[in-house]
Structures are given as structure tokens and as C-alpha cells.
Amino acid sequence: MDIEKLLKEIESQVLGLLKNQVALFPKFKNDISVFIKNSQDKIKKWQGLYIEGHIDEEELEWLLNSQKNLLVLESLKNIGLSQIKANRLKNDIIKIVFQVILNSILK
């Protein structure tokens, strides 16, 4: 899967998660777009490293988890979502990115 399709799939699945969990969904589209844009080069690089066998699943997951700090969900703060719930949501988003990358390779 080329990087553009991969990023669109990640965005689609993450927005699907948010649509199901958060009432103020439209405000999150921008946050997710910014995160994907800021992470796109790293995702592409890490996907390539994984495909070439230079890193394994565990290392890929660790690298993706390092992106959590880039995942600033300003909209969550503005609606008063607790830090615990925000962190849980960030973890779910990183899991989606991880699964989409793995699924793109297995196709």
C-alpha cells in the first residue's frame, strides 16, 4: 500500500473511533489531520524498515508509541475530557496506526 493510501486509511479508522466515542466529533478532524501530517515521514520510514525486516513488530509498536507526544488533542482539552480518558484515546489511536501498518504489509 502506498503511503497516501496508508495515511488515508489511518485517518479514516481513527475518525471512525472518535465518531463512536466522542459527541463533538467534527472538532477532532483537524487534530487528527495535524497528527498524521506530523507523523507521515516517520510512518513511511518505519513501515519500510518493518517490510525490509530491519525492525520487528515489537520495535514498530514501540516507535509508534513514541509518537503519542505529538498527538495533541486540543479538542479533548477544550471539552474537559479527563487526562485518563485522553490518554486512553491516544493509546487507541496508536493501536489503530499500528494495525493499519501491519495490515497494509500483509495484503
Q: Residues 47, 105: contact at Cβ < 8 Å?
A: yes
Tens digit of each residue's pLDDT (9 = 90 or more) over 10-29? 989 988 887 776 565 666 77
Rounded to whole angstroms, the Cα distance separating 9 from 96 reads 10
Using an 8 Å Cβ cutoff, are 98 and 60 in contact? yes
pLDDT of residue 85: 75
Residue 74's pLDDT is 65
pLDDT at 45: 94
pTM of the predicted model, to two decimals? Answer: 0.75
pLDDT at 60: 93
Which residues of the chain are modeled with pLDDT < 70?
A: 1, 21-27, 72-81, 107
